[in-house]
Structure 1
């Protein structure tokens, strides 16, 4: 997860700054550095949430079912002799 967050941070830095420079070059609109930093941090946080969710889903897919029948493993379902 650490690698994915670092990669996302670096990609977000490049993409946001390139987009801001292109916006200034073509339209003359200056995007302030504080807004750029907020965009980069927002993209990084959202990406880390999605990466964490993907890791949780991957962990759930690896779980193995209980051994035996479910009725045999539950205490209330056992027959008394």
Structure 2
């Protein structure tokens, strides 16, 4: 099995999207702004490059990014309300 450029970009974008969804909830000292959000933006850029390559597999990246953004903003909102 040969690994192509689009395969590499897909896996990199997927790993970055998972990183964003996982670390985006860490709002201690605004760490999410400096650690998670730049990686999320890079993942979004990678997805825009490869989105027309294979619709079935590239649809997971924006779904994970959306879930990560919703989780991140909900944690921030909860911290702002109750702290």
- Shorter chain as denominator, the TM-score bin is 0.3 to 0.5
Larger RCO: 1 or 2 (CA < 8 Å, sep 6+): 2
Give the alignment's TM-score, normalised by structure 1: 0.37
- From the two aligned structures, give the one with the greater helix fraction: 2
Using the size of structure 2 for normalisation, the TM-score is 0.36
